[in-house]
Structure 1
Amino acid sequence: MIRLREYLCTNSVDFAAIISDKDKLSLPTPKSLKSLLDLMARRVQRPHKLMMNSMIDDRDRITAVRALARLERPLDDVLIAVSKFEWDYHGSPFILRKKYVEDILQRYLSRKLTDVELETWADAVELREDIAFDENHSQWLEDVITTLSSHELNGPTNRDRILSFLK
């Protein structure tokens, strides 16, 4: 939902009607307040273009985030796609499930992904506000993502480590 201030600023509200003197801000008159409330009521009944764009941006973002989380396309492509969005996110996150990560780990084991690609993927997924871990496997997901993204602390990624995650 758009905050009231942003909403008012983006909906061509005539603030001149609210300000009685150009140099002083005064309380709105009952008539100007009524006009403002009427305008807001009409906007609520008919979604504003900005709100529609925001919904489209959220869908685009979640599509890009899903592609990253599930590694549905080449890693470079999904990294470019998610980089188009701001870091902060207040919408509903994409839920990262254990089966998605297991699939990616299997791709590593079958040599479809390199050590660097797997580590880069985990680093890109870690701490994103638009990705949440499945509650049923959150500890496992956190352990895998953190371990893979922090190879400097946890040692290099290797076949044995990946197999231990899949047991």
Structure 2
Amino acid sequence: MSGRRRLLADLVELRRPVDEVVGALRSFPWDVERPLVRVRAEDVVRLLRAYLAGAVTADTVTAWADALEIRDDVDIDEGLRDFFTEASAPELFEPVPAPLP
């Protein structure tokens, strides 16, 4: 697995802090011919379960969505586009709601 693909997988699977991975990805060119990783519903479910368990914050959910939403090297399943658009821009949409007690 290439360094870039590994970093993207770390980001998608939230294995490292979002800002750390985004910083490391800056060393690669922005444009690519085709996506290197895919974000699926199970990735979003994993993130939301971590959020509900208190393992990640609402800011992390927003940063994660923002970091992935517009990347050429990431393919997001079509049915998830609205989630990424809304979660990445709480100032335009609703903020990530607090988990229920």
Does the alignment reach a TM-score above 0.5?
Answer: yes
Partner of 1:150: 89
* Structure 1: gaps spanning 5 or more residues: 1-55, 161-167
- Asked whether 1:97 is paired with 2:36, we answer no
Determine what percentage of the aligned residue pairs are the same residue: 32
Q: Deviations over 1:75-110 (max 9, x none)?
A: 232122222212111144211111011101111111
Partner secondary structure for residue 83 of structure 2: helix
How far, CA to CA, are the matches of 2:75 and 2:95 in structure 1?
25
Query: Partner residue of 2:65?
Result: 122
TM-score (norm 1): 0.55
Question: For 1:78-97, what aligned pairs fall within 5 Å after superposition?
Answer: 78-97=21-40
In structure 1, the partner of 2:17 is 74
RMSD: 1.7
Local SS of the residue matching 2:38: strand
1:106 aligns with 2:52: no
User: Counting helix residues as a fraction of each chain, which structure ranks higher?
Assistant: 1
Larger radius of gyration: 1
3-state secondary structure, aligned to 1:132: strand
Unaligned runs of 5+ in 2: none
1:63 matched to 2:11: no
